[in-house]
Amino acid sequence: MVGWRYVVAKLEFRNNHSVSSLPTVAILGGTGKEGPGLAMRWASVGYPIIIGSRQLEKARVTATELNAALNIDTIRGMENGAAAREADICVLTVVQAAHQAALESLKVDLQGKILVDATARVDFRNPKPPAPPAAARIAQEILGAGVRVVAAFQNLPAHVLKKNLGQSLEAEVLVCADDLEAAEQVIQLAEAGGMRAYYAGGLDNAVVVEGLTSILISINQRYGVKTASICLRL
């Protein structure tokens, strides 16, 4: 009986809050700078979030911290592979040096998922635009056709993501993907997190979005600001 009532209560919760169709999002390498900010934005509007890390304990610590900050208990911490298997959409926020190794180790776990690659291969101390292929194209080649790779969130300053969670961010997200339906899901995810997002062409275009990080660092330095960002005029 307890089990049955629990199921009913959970169904009611899902119906009442209209969150039944929200995808589960795993932030792989989610204990770094960028991941927690994205996790908080999505968790605070009802998305089931999993923080992934190579170390289970680190993932759990970050999940506990974020839950406490938001006064919720829906963010879970898992080892990256388990997080990927459990999620519908996985967002990869590892440092650039770990990019390829992380993808190779998660290739099996990611099959059937959308993988959002947020990697910008730009060194903050010596910023230069990366050469094609885009990090996300490399990801697609490693993961194969069973994973739909989308490039997004490469230019968001981590400290901005965590501020004013309920408000819109003054930042556009350029979403590049060869699969339009996957791109649309990521655009929805970005907008749910308070960002304006636009489809900006196929995966190959993502190398430009990576390179914008180099441009924005130069602009920040020249004009003595910290959060120069690109916007779009349609």
The residue ranges that bind a copy of itself (CB under 8 A) are 127-129, 131-132, 170-171, 174, 198-202, 204-205, 207-209, 211-212, 214-215, 217-219, 222-223, 225, 227-234
* Single-letter amino acid, residue 160: V
Residue from 23, 28, 55 nearest 42 by CA: 23
Helix axes 135-143, 99-106, angle to 10 degrees: 20
Least distance from a copy of itself to the Cβ atom of residue 162, Å:
18
Burial class of 157 by CB neighbour count within 10 A (0 to 12, 13 to 18, 19+): buried
Residue 44 or 205: the one with the smaller Cβ distance to a copy of itself is: 205
Residue from 101, 104, 27 nearest 66 by CA: 27
Residue keyed to tokens 């990019």: 99
Least distance from a copy of itself to the Cβ atom of residue 141, Å:
16
Residue 4 or 223: the one with the smaller Cβ distance to a copy of itself is: 223
Phi, psi of 49, deg, nearest 5: -120, 140
Residue 73 or 191: the one with the smaller Cβ distance to a copy of itself is: 191
Least distance from a copy of itself to the Cβ atom of residue 96, Å:
17
Q: Which two tokens stand for residue 19?
A: 């969150």
Least distance from a copy of itself to the Cβ atom of residue 22, Å:
25
Q: CB neighbours (10 Å) of residue 118?
A: 25
Residue 64 or 229: the one with the smaller Cβ distance to a copy of itself is: 229
Least distance from a copy of itself to the Cβ atom of residue 71, Å:
31
Handedness of CA 168, 174, 178, 180 (dihedral sign): positive
Q: Which two tokens stand for residue 138?
A: 């490399």
Residue keyed to tokens 């932030």: 27
Least distance from a copy of itself to the Cβ atom of residue 34, Å:
19
Residue 1 or 231: the one with the smaller Cβ distance to a copy of itself is: 231
Residue 79 or 184: the one with the smaller Cβ distance to a copy of itself is: 184
Least distance from a copy of itself to the Cβ atom of residue 167, Å:
15
Residue 53 or 185: the one with the smaller Cβ distance to a copy of itself is: 185
Beta partners for residue 92, in sequence order: 28, 117
What is the Cα–Cα distance from 13 to 96, expressed in whole angstroms?
Answer: 39
What is the Cα–Cα distance from 143 to 150, expressed in whole angstroms?
Answer: 12
